[in-house]
Amino acid sequence: MRAELALCPHLAAVAPGAAPFTLAPAEILEWDGAPVVAVARCAVCGACAWLERIEGPSFSLAALRAEDAALYFRNVSRGSCDVARARAEREALAASAGPRERRVVLDAGGQRVVAASPFAPGS
Ligand SMILES: [Zn+2]
């Protein structure tokens, strides 16, 4: 975790309403009927964020550097069939994210924020 990273002002101010970020299908790393882990992009400035499901429709948002996301997707697109390597790359990407700053509850389609609050462990 990179403690010095922070969400862009738009994502840091996430509030109920239309989601201020986009989730590209190709950037959803894990899917289980809904996104579990994804790279979100700020709809205003394009900054990246690490979106991870906590439980149910509740997610945490953490800053992610665009170059770290780009490197990850470049490596993945090379199509390694080495499962251990793919897992290591994903763990490296997760480790490159900033602290979890916001907790957001999304609707089923991931298009709307139902609730947002500062992230607190165990909340
Ligand atoms: Zn932004």
Per-residue pLDDT of 47-72, as tens digits, reads 999 999 999 999 999 999 999 999 99
Res 12: pLDDT: 97
- Mark the ranges of the chain whose per-residue pLDDT is less than 70: 80, 121-123
User: What is the CA(85)–ligand 1 centre distance, in A?
Assistant: 31
Here the tokens at position 28 are 């959803």
User: What is the CA(27)–ligand 1 centre distance, in A?
Assistant: 17
User: What is the CA(23)–ligand 1 centre distance, in A?
Assistant: 14
Q: Which residues of 59-91 are buried (b: 16+ CB within 10 A; e: fewer)?
A: bbbbbbeeebbeebbebeeeeeeeeeeeeebbe
User: What is the CA(7)–ligand 1 centre distance, in A?
Assistant: 8
User: What is the CA(111)–ligand 1 centre distance, in A?
Assistant: 16
Mean pLDDT of the chain: 92
